Amino acid sequence: MKHQKPYEPSHGLELGDFRMTKQRQVVYDVLMAKLDHPTASEVYSRTVTLMPTISLATVYNCLETMTQCGLVKQVNLDRAPSRYCANLKEHAHFYCEECGEVTDLELKSGVKSTNAWKLPRGSRVDHVEAAIKGVCPACTRSKN
Amino acid sequence: MKHQKPYEPSHGLELGDFRMTKQRQVVYDVLMAKLDHPTASEVYSRTVTLMPTISLATVYNCLETMTQCGLVKQVNLDRAPSRYCANLKEHAHFYCEECGEVTDLELKSGVKSTNAWKLPRGSRVDHVEAAIKGVCPACTRSKN
DNA sequence: GTGAATGCAAAACCTTTGCAACTGG
DNA sequence: CCAGTTGCAAAGGTTTTGCATTCAC
C-alpha cells in the first residue's frame, strides 16, 4: 500500500534544498496574485502568459514541491482536478454547486476543526480536510 | 464548467428505474459484507471470486449507479482512487497514515457537521465531506 | 562545478465510453 | 418485448516520469 507522506506543518517552512528558480517564482507569484483556487492547468495558463517557455510538467512539479514545503495547499474535491491555494491558515472549503466557485471558510475562534466528530481515544490528528458543498449566498439570492 | 450533480438525499432511496441485476446484487453484497472502504478494484477483486465473468467496467458502473441512488457513498481522499462505503449515516473519515486504514467517525449528537466553520450568512449547505488524517490508536500504541 | 530543475514527449493511472449482445421486469 | 445493463476494448483526462539539457547556488 502506498502511504501518504507524513504531513509537514506549514509553519516553519523547512525549504531544505529548495531552489528558487524563475519558474517556481512565477508559479508562486501567480498563486499569490489571485487567491482563488486554480487547477494546475489554470495555473499553467496564467504562468504561460508571463513565461511562455514554461511547461505544464514544470507547473505540476512546482506545485508538488511547494505543496511538500507547505508553501501552498492542494485542494481535492471529489475526483475533480486538484486545485491549489496559498491560504496557509487552517480553513475549510465551500464549493458552490451553482457557480462552481471554491471559497475558504475560516475556523471559528476557540474551536478545533475536529470538534463535531467522535474521535477514538488515542488517535493522533495531523490534518483535517473539510469540504462543504452547497449554494453560495450570491447564487441563492439570484435563484429567486 | 462541469458541475456536480445536485446532491440527492440518501434517505428515501429513489431507485427509479434501478434494475437489480445479478452484478449489482453481488457488488452490493460485497460492500455490505465488509464495511471497510474498498476501492473500485478491490471491490472488483472481491466480486470476481463470486462471479468470475463480471468486468471491472461493470463494477465501476454499479458503484456509480449506487452512488447516484444513495445506496453507497464515494469517499475521496486526496488523489487516491475512490473508495466506497455502505455507511449511510452522516460521518467523517479517519485516514491512518501508518496502516492506511480508513475508519468512520460518527457525528457527535446535537452537533452540526459544519459547526467549526464560519459560514457566510445565506449559504445553503447540502453536504459535508470531512477527512481527518493522523495515526489511529492501534498504530499510536505500537509505535512505542 | 555539480546536483537539482526544466522541458519535452511518452507513459501511467484511474475512470468513462461506444457499441453489440444480453436480460430483467 | 425493449429500455436498461453488460462486457470488452479503446479512449479520456489528469498527473507522473525518463532523459538530455540547462541552471541556481
- How far apart, in Å, are the Cα atoms of B2 and each of A97, A99, A109, A144? 10, 10, 35, 23
Cβ contact B40 with chain C strand, < 7 A: yes
Rounding to the nearest 10 degrees, give the CA dihedral for residues B59, B61, B65, B71.
Answer: 10
pTM as predicted: 0.88
Task: Indicate the residue type of B82.
Answer: S
Cβ contact A67 with chain C strand, < 7 A: no
**Any idea which nucleotide's C1' is nearest the CA of B83?**
C14
Report the distance separating Cα A58 and Cα A65, nearest Å.
10
The answer to whether the Cα torsion of B104, B108, B113, B119 is positive or negative is: negative
A101 at the B interface (CB within 8 A)?
A: no
Nearest 5 degrees, angle CA B80-CA B83-CA B86?
A: 165
Mean pLDDT along residues A72-100: 96
Spatial CA neighbour of B98 closest among B133, B131, B55, B51: B133
> Cell numbers 431507485 label which residue?
B15
Burial of A131 (0-12, 13-18, 19+ CB in 10 A): buried
Q: How confident is the model at residue A16 (pLDDT cuts 50, 70, 90)?
A: low
For residue B141, the distance in angstroms to the closest alpha carbon of chain A comes to 8
CB contact under 8 A, B140 and A129: no
Residues of B within 8 A of A113 (CB-CB) are 116-117
Residue A95 sits at φ, ψ, to 5 deg, of -110, 120
**Is the pLDDT at A28 greater than 70, yes or no?**
yes
Mean pLDDT along residues A76-87: 96
pLDDT of residue B6: 35
Q: DSSP string of A55-89?
A: -HHHHHHHHHHHHHHTSSEEE--TTSPPEEE---S
Report the distance separating Cα A2 and Cα B12, nearest Å.
37
pLDDT tens sequence across B6-64: 333 333 445 667 899 999 999 999 999 999 999 999 999 999 999 999 999 999 999 99
DSSP category for residue A99: T
Report the distance separating Cα B62 and Cα B29, nearest Å.
12
**Is the pLDDT at A113 greater than 60, yes or no?**
yes
**Is the pLDDT at B112 greater than 50, yes or no?**
yes
Mean pLDDT along residues A75-85: 97
CB contact under 8 A, A132 and B115: no
Task: Supply A24's cell numbers.
Answer: 517556481
Lowest mean pLDDT among A16-20, A68-72, A85-89, A95-99: A16-20
pLDDT of residue A15: 61
Q: Which nucleotides of C are covered by protein (CB under 7 A)?
A: 4-10, 13-18, 23-25
For residue B38, the distance in angstroms to the closest alpha carbon of chain A comes to 13
Report the distance separating Cα A56 and Cα A38, nearest Å.
14
Residue % of chain B over a pLDDT of 90? 85
Report the distance separating Cα B83 and Cα B100, nearest Å.
12
- The residue among B123, B125, B135, B143 with the most chain A CBs within 10 A of its CB, best to mutate, is B123
Cβ contact A2 with chain C strand, < 7 A: no
**Is the pLDDT at B1 greater than 50, yes or no?**
no
Instruction: Find the residue closest to D23 using CA and C1' atoms.
Output: A21
CB contact under 8 A, B123 and A140: yes
